[in-house]
Amino acid sequence: MTKPSAIIAPSVLNANFLRLQDEISAIEKGGAGLVHLDIMDGHFVPNISFGPDISKQIGKASSLPMDCHLMISNPEMFVDEFAKAGARYISIQAESTHHLDRILNRIRELGAKPAVSINPATPIENIKWVLDTVDMVLVMSVNPGFGGQSLIPYCLDKIHELRSLKPELDIEIDGGVKLSNILDAKKAGANIFVVGSAIFKTESPEETCREFVNQVK
């Protein structure tokens, strides 16, 4: 049985957008495996970030595969655009659509990797029937919308439950991940770690990213 590899996926939500190219180069040098893009629409979540055009520019500015997390209502209207923008992964919030199976299959047809995401209060049971359709499950460990929040501890129990169900699945944790708790997340069963403010709000995002990479090796 192949053990999924550990990957740090910095979220640029809290990066300095006026120096985005430098911020991206820093995480590349720091050993990140993915660049995580938080797409927010002011409707599904109480914040607005950016859309497919900026994502496409980020894709061109980076050698890292893009991990696009759609925290938006009506995601079916936008998956084609994100696939065209070059997303490697497209994550859909299970709570955001009536047609989860359809949209995940559409993402694969478009040549990207489908992933499903669940909010802290959403049970694993709700995504049970799509676990064989996706390449990754993203477990939100904060209520989505903002960086810089604290990890909700019961989300680690959800990851543990999911890992027991699917030993080879890529499981991503997103929200409140810090150097002080990343090993708890790893122990629970996560292997892809989204880290936002704990990387970009430090003196040297490159050095900090490297520390996270070394921590989960």
Ligand X SMILES: O=C(CO)[C@H](O)[C@H](O)COP(=O)(O)O
* Active site amino acids: 38, 174
Q: Does position 175 bind ligand X by CB under 6 A?
A: yes
Q: How far is the CB of 138 from ligand X (least distance, A)?
A: 9
Among 52, 75, 176, 189, binds ligand X (CB under 6 A): 176
Task: Kindly give the interhelix angle for 52-61 and 20-29, rounded to the nearest 10 degrees.
Answer: 50
Q: Which stretch binds ligand X (CB under 6 A): 6-14, 72-80, 103-111, 180-188?
A: 6-14
Q: Is the dihedral of CA 171, 177, 178, 182 positive or negative?
A: negative
* Residue 38 annotated as binding site: yes
Rounded Cα distance, 188 and 53, in Å: 36
The answer to whether 145 is a known ligand-binding residue is yes
Under 8 Å between Cβ of 42 and 4 = no
Return the closest-CA partner of residue 115 out of 183, 194, 198, 51: 194
Q: Does 11 bind ligand X (CB under 6 A)?
A: yes
11 annotated binding-site participant:
yes
x/- map, 95-134, ligand X, by CB under 6 A: ----------------------------------------
Which residue in 79, 177, 185, 192 binds ligand X (CB under 6 A)? Answer: 177
* Beta carbons of 34 and 2 less than 8 angstroms apart: no
Annotated binding residues for substrate: 11, 69, 145-148, 174-176, 196-197
Residues that bind ligand X (CB under 6 A): 11, 13-14, 38, 142, 144-149, 174-177, 194-198
